[in-house]
């Protein structure tokens, strides 16, 4: 089975990054989709430890932006032709083709947040539109075997509780993924259940973190769940999310990135 985890790191500084690394190193998932990475020493430390432990690390240059990264114990297929071109903030998307049977094109996505300002609203709207265009441009077979996961910073129209202030283009991200054939993995296995992955200062929950599977993967979804431990323990302000697919991965030889043997 192929197991994948996504977690928002909250741009962790070095001390919190060490605690997050310890937690992630203890997880059984083979592929980690990490969002809200940063250009600071915390992210650099974490990704460096994963590399030294034998993981393949995919990190799009972020130019000082908060971004996304992938750390994989599954072999990566060297396929430079597979890219998501034209995304307005490239560092917020990381992608690679996993050597599995069948192969899986995995995408880590970190959608910008916004406030009420016109500039940040426009930035988020343009990013979402550009990401959806890039996704739609993937070859058909690749799209069918694509798994997107990360912090989307949007909620569905029928979210409970109902939160005011979300705009049509934000709802459109989830709706366009659905009409394009991508399956919301959690809803697929838990229909009618309202999950939350981030809790606001008022105590209200928001479902910001997702996995979406292409058409060829929809019938291969085995498990999907939210793990609130990192949020409750204040390692970050998001829950982690995991999904397991009926696919056979080819594994790398790795060591424990949190152990002294992985020091660099």
Over 70: is that where the pLDDT of 80 sits? no
For residue 169, what are the CA distances in angstroms to 18, 89, 166, 198? Answer: 37, 17, 8, 21
Q: Give the model confidence (pLDDT) of 14-52 as tens digits.
A: 999 999 999 999 999 999 999 999 999 999 999 999 999
201 CB neighbour count, 10 Å cutoff: 5
Class at the top of the CATH hierarchy for domain 2-249: alpha beta
68 in Cβ contact with 111 (< 8 Å):
no
> How many Å apart are CA 206 and CA 72, to the nearest integer?
28
**pLDDT > 70: percent of the chain:** 97
Domain ranges of the chain: 2-249
Q: What is the pTM of this model?
A: 0.95
Q: Is 189 exposed, middle or buried (0-12, 13-18, 19+ CB in 10 A)?
A: middle
The pLDDT value recorded for residue 163 is 86
46 in Cβ contact with 120 (< 8 Å):
no
* 82 vs 21, higher pLDDT: 21
Task: Provide CB contacts within 8 A for 209, sequence distance 6+.
Answer: 6, 8, 149, 150, 151, 152, 197, 198, 226, 238, 239, 240, 241
Question: Which residue, among 140, 129, 151, 135, has the nearest Cα to 198 in the 3D structure?
Answer: 151
Q: Give the model confidence (pLDDT) of 197-240 as tens digits.
A: 999 878 889 899 999 999 999 999 999 999 999 999 999 999 99
How sure is the predictor about 81, in pLDDT bands with cuts at 50, 70 and 90?
low
- Tokens read off for 116: 């009420």
Q: Is 15 exposed, middle or buried (0-12, 13-18, 19+ CB in 10 A)?
A: exposed
């Amino acid at each position: 089975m192929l197991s994948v985890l996504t977690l928002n790191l909250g741009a962790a500084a070095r001390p919190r990054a060490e605690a997050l690394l310890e937690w992630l190193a203890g997880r059984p998932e083979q592929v980690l989709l990490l969002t809200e990475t940063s250009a600071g020493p915390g992210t650099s430390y974490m990704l460096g430890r994963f590399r030294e432990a034998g993981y393949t690390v995919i990190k799009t240059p972020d130019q000082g932006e908060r971004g996304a990264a992938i750390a994989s114990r599954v072999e990566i297929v060297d396929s430079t032709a597979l890219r998501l071109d034209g995304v307005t903030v490239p560092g917020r998307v990381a992608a690679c083709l996993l050597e599995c049977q069948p192969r899986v094109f995995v995408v880590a996505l970190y959608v910008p947040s916004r406030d009420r300002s016109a500039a940040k609203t426009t930035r988020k709207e343009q990013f979402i539109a550009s990401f959806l265009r890039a996704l739609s441009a993937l070859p058909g077979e690749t799209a069918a075997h694509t798994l997107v996961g990360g912090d989307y910073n949007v909620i569905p129209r029928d979210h409970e509780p109902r939160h005011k202030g979300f705009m049509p283009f934000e709802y459109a991200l989830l709706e366009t993924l659905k009409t394009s054939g991508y399956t919301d993995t959690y809803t697929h296995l838990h229909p009618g259940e309202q999950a939350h992955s981030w809790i606001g200062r008022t105590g209200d929950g928001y479902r910001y973190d997702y996995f979406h599977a292409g058409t060829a993967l929809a019938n291969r979804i085995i498990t999907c769940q939210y793990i609130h431990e990192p949020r409750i323990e204040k390692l970050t302000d998001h829950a982690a999310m995991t999904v397991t697919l009926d696919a056979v991965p080819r594994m790398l030889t790795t060591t424990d990135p949190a152990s002294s043997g992985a020091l660099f």
